[in-house]
Structure 1
Amino acid sequence: MSLTRCAAALLAVVTLTGVVSGCAASPGAGEPSASSVVSRSALPPRVVAGYWHSWGTPAVRLRDVPPEYTVVMAAFAVGDRTGRVRFTPTAQSAASLVADVRSLQASGRRVLLAVGGWNDGGLQIRTDAQLEAFLASVTPIIDRYGFSGLDWDLEHGISPATLERATRRLAERYGQRFAITMAPILGAREPEQLELARRIADLLDMVNPQYYNGGRSDPAWILQHTLGWERVVGEQSVGMGFLLVRLPGETGTQTSQAICTMWQRLLESAPRARGVMLWSVNHDRSQGYRFARTCARTILRS
């Protein structure tokens, strides 16, 4: 069985006792139902989320991100084995970024700090010391820029128990309006991502599995997999993550029309699903913001 199929099967056996085991079931058995997950209100009912990164071309100032992106993840806070993280935007000055974050949030949009990414600098948050170092370094970043939430995008192995503690500490510090999202990587790392999601389901506002690194891109599989995640985190927190521009090592590039079609299919089974995430706003710009002007508007109206 491939790693991707194994991870999909594991969606069935993330249990309320925290056990992750087996690799031969279908989604549904032993998972919390959507009704058992507490609904949070840190994000609007419908979301189009996009990662904004300050490297590469074309560069995009945060204030120029189209309004159809109602949630923007600023990528990335990266770190090292000590657990400490840093955030270094290069497309604009720190002062202008602070102003842009305020401007977007004054218009009702949310700007979250994304932690990790593929090139995360070797970030480790496993031990008590790493946890404290992470919290001591990430909170000044959140406070300086005024981010209204945090997105977990850790792709090289995690400790679900330690990240649960980190998430709860941040939620306690910043309150109910502080959004918590995840972009789980598929394949061999997915079981531990599922375990983290199960542990913090009461705090999660949106979970967007990355359907561009799992080796499959067929809509039926994506829909089934998303519904498996829905059983773990609840209907109102589930989303889907897509890629518009093919990148080295990635699979599953989708057109705007294909994304819209999959969204409509998802609504047939999960009418309260949260929305869609895109990597990235910058790539959408390279296509004339075709996604923002077409599919994103359809999602927000649905």
Structure 2
Amino acid sequence: MNKGLSRVLNKSRVMMLPLLVVVSMIMNFFPLEVSAAERGAWAPNVSYAVNDNVTYDGKAYKAIQSHTSLPGWEPPNVPALWQFVQGGGGGDTVAPTTPTNVTVSAVTSSSVTLSWQASTDNVGVTGYDVYQGTALAISVTGTTATITGLSPKTTYSFKVIAKDAAGNLSPASATVNATTSEGPGGGPQPTKHILTGYWQNFVNGASKLKVRDIPDQYDIIVLAFAEMDPVNPGGVTFTVDSALSAALGGYTNAELIADIQAKRAQGKKVIISVGGEKGNINLNNPSPNVANFVNSMYGIITQFGLDGIDIDLEHGMNVPNLTNAIRQLKQKVGNDFVLTMAPQTIDMQNPNTSYMQLYNNLKDITTVINVQYYNSGCMLGRDGKCYSQGTVDFLTALSDLTLQWVSPSQLGLGVPATSSAAGGGYVSSTIVNNALNCLATGNSCGSYKPVAKYPDIRGAMTWSINWDATTNYTLAKTVRPFLNTLP
């Protein structure tokens, strides 16, 4: 290479270096859009990234938040995670035939069972939507459905619509009417507005407590948690945790039983929870799992003198089998049976999620649903806007959304007792009171204004009593007195 050409090239290299630096800085300010990945059919227990594309029920969706899917989080049920893509999906446009011969096969004071002749489709029928009047009551895959939560001695009308994988809907069936029977009234329940708290049967950074030391402000005390029995499919077990017992100087089952009875004598309700962050139950099979669950849980309720159970399943559930199990358990316990639920925020984003199906099946015997308004990303309120956790607007906008489907007298606001009690979403007790006041009376709201006033709002729940103890029960001492001021 000659010297003249070499000097030119060296000079060019020197001039290029600043230009590359400038281009690199510009690219940092304008990052490339995340590429979309075609992930095929949506499935539970899969990690999805932003812009991933899936299909579900013949329609296309794009992920708008990274997450790991769970049963009940199907794309149409969680609009905070998935965005519908217009024009996506398959080309099937043929609707199933109309369901025929819809008949009333069973009636109780609170339920109606329907059956019908199956529809046909050019590809295949995937399910049926059963409507009570003009409202969707339940979706099923078979040709029978039980609609629960009805009032005694009341006439209802029903119709059935078939659907296929592409989302095509059949014409509605002929309407049938059914009148529920007269039935016994339910047992006594806690006061109108209640505070629920979880007692930790394990050791972590929270205070270690005996049940006798729980303050009077708590109306419902939830023992956390019953554990899945590994050798008895569907069964559960419970005993005082050995580490907790040692930390409390030898706290025994007998002491716990005595403490529970003392609390009940004071008018408190004491129940036991299944699930939690790490727990689960195995009701994947109806037999023998359902019977094992009912018998083992009834044994725990009898041994410890409990009032009922709490459902805190965070890793999916078999709704039909769980519904059946809880109904059977309630029959064993009697009319004083207390049933609470603690769904995550995302579980209440849509009326068709697993938790909403469970609630619709059991709302006639449900005491309260305490939604966990924490450990959440951005979630959609009733106005379609995405609200961040840890604010009064998050509590009110998300509650207002759920109140389209859940009775105010059965909805509670679940919050962490301290900032250490959850990964995110902590608000002060004053903010909790502001949210309750906003929902009940329309006062103390933030920027979000609920569409109505809900004076029957049930109350609040906290995780946990043990964490509340670390601040000398600030939450209980602030929120419980305020509940007494609500209408």
Structure 2 length normalisation: TM-score?
Answer: 0.54
SS of 2:393's partner is: helix
Change (3 A) 1:16 1:184: same
User: Is 1:95 matched with 2:254?
Assistant: yes
Name 2:139's counterpart in structure 1: 19
Change (3 A) 1:136 1:47: same
User: Is 1:69 matched with 2:253?
Assistant: no
SS of 1:208's partner is: strand
- Residue from 446, 461, 485 that aligns with 1:277: 461
- Residue from 166, 172, 190 that aligns with 1:43: 190
Native 8 Å contact 2:229 2:237 kept in 1: no
Q: Which stretch shows the higher mean deviation, 122-131 or 264-273?
A: 122-131
Shift of 1:187: 2.6
Q: Distance in 1 between matches of 2:214 and 2:428?
A: 20
User: Is 1:294 matched with 2:294?
Assistant: no
Shift of 1:45: 1.0
Greater length-normalized contact order (CA 8 Å, ≥ 6 residues apart): 1
Shift of 1:226: 1.6
Q: Distance in 2 between matches of 1:126 and 1:69?
A: 34
Normalized per residue, the structure richer in helix is 1
Number of residue pairs aligned between Structure 1 and Structure 2: 286
Q: Distance in 1 between matches of 2:347 and 2:335?
A: 32
Deviations 1:133-175 (A, max 9, x none): 1112111100000111111111110011111111111111112
SS of 1:97's partner is: helix
Change (3 A) 1:249 1:68: closer
| Structure 1: segments with no counterpart, 5+ residues | 21-31
| Structure 2: segments with no counterpart, 5+ residues | 1-63, 68-72, 81-128, 141-148, 155-184, 245-250, 378-387, 442-452
Q: Which stretch shows the higher mean deviation, 74-83 or 60-69?
A: 74-83
Normalized per residue, the structure richer in strand is 2
SS of 2:372's partner is: coil
User: Is 1:59 matched with 2:208?
Assistant: yes
Native 8 Å contact 2:421 2:464 kept in 1: no
Name 1:85's counterpart in structure 2: 236
Deviations 1:265-296 (A, max 9, x none): 11122101111000000000001111122222
Structure 1 length normalisation: TM-score?
Answer: 0.85
Deviations 1:182-221 (A, max 9, x none): 0012336961111111111111110011011222313223
Name 2:264's counterpart in structure 1: 105
Q: Which has the larger radius of gyration?
A: 2
Name 1:24's counterpart in structure 2: none
Q: Distance in 2 between matches of 1:127 and 1:70?
A: 35
Name 1:150's counterpart in structure 2: 309
Deviations 1:200-254 (A, max 9, x none): 1111110011011222313223223223333323121111100122358722111
Q: CA RMSD in A?
A: 2.9
SS of 2:376's partner is: coil
Change (3 A) 1:254 1:51: same
Name 1:23's counterpart in structure 2: none
SS of 2:282's partner is: coil
Change (3 A) 1:286 1:297: same
Q: Distance in 1 between matches of 2:347 and 2:479?
A: 31
Name 2:364's counterpart in structure 1: 202
- Residue from 313, 322, 329 that aligns with 1:163: 322
Q: Which stretch shows the higher mean deviation, 221-230 or 197-206?
A: 221-230
SS of 1:51's partner is: strand
Change (3 A) 1:275 1:249: closer
